[in-house]
Structure 1
Amino acid sequence: MGMSKKIHEFNNIIRKLRKDLFGKGPERIETTFVDHMAISTLYGNLTPTERFIADTDDGKEMILIARTRMIQDLYKESPPEGLEELVGAKLVHLFSDLKVDEDIAVSVFVFDRKI
């Protein structure tokens, strides 16, 4: 499988997982594979309800905490189906952050070997 096909499949797995978890997947995902990491930038993540809540500082904080914790907990239980098979490595860490105002999220997937 070519690199661009692999990235496309990787993005599809990430999109589906977030759609299932939050009711809406990101509008656009850009992923780069670097050594033993996959770095994904996700654009257009928030639901209309979340955007409404994000109008206040407390709301922003709540969305950031809820989203990052839900993602971390989900990946801690088990990586999404097909992810490790696709890259041929075991997922050991996931780091994720979200800029609520810009509606941009970044996830760094760390694997146990070069992918």
Structure 2
Amino acid sequence: MSRAFEHEFSSLVRETRKEHVGNGPREITTRFIGTWAISEMKGNLTNVEKFMIKSPDGERMVREARTSLIKKIYENPELVRKFEKLVGAKLIRMFSDINIGEDIAMTIFVFDGNLEEKSR
């Protein structure tokens, strides 16, 4: 059941990114550790962003826009409810960052319940 639960969570993350950012990550892996859901995403950047990051200013702009946008997306109460319903716990906080050069993003969701136990 653990892999299915992780896959379901990853699918919701991908669906969210696709809807709000314009494309979802090419590859996504989620792991549950205690109260944390850690999603690692590869292949996030759009063609326009790949063009923009060829300059230092473009790279800074894409990184700032990506991290700010992702944090803003998860302020939506409807979206938060979808994640909370899936895991059966309340979302307390979320951390997100992207390594532009490697095109790898990480999002850590912190819930008020032990997700490892729920995923078994």
Q: Same fold (TM over 0.5)?
A: yes
Q: Which residue of 1 is the match for residue 101 of structure 2?
A: 101
In the alignment, does 2:77 pair up with 1:75? no
Deviations 1:50-81 (A, max 9, x none): 00001011111101111111111111232625
Name the counterpart of 2:12.
Answer: 13
How many residues are aligned here? 114
Secondary structure at the aligned position of 1:45 is classed as: coil
How far, CA to CA, are the matches of 1:23 and 1:29 in structure 2? 16
What TM-score does the superposition give when structure 2 sets the normalisation length? 0.90
Q: TM-score, normalised by structure 1?
A: 0.94
- Structure 2 gap segments, 5+ residues each: 116-120
Identity %: 41
Distance of aligned partners of 1:62 and 1:68 in 2 relative to their CA distance in 1, 3 Å threshold: same
Query: CA 1:14–1:24 in structure 2 vs 1: closer, same or farther (change >3 Å)?
Result: same
Q: Which runs of 5+ in 1 are unaligned?
A: none
Moved over 6 A (4+): none
**Quick one: which amino acid aligns to residue 99 of structure 2?**
K
Deviations 1:60-110 (A, max 9, x none): 110111111111111123262521111111111110000001000000000
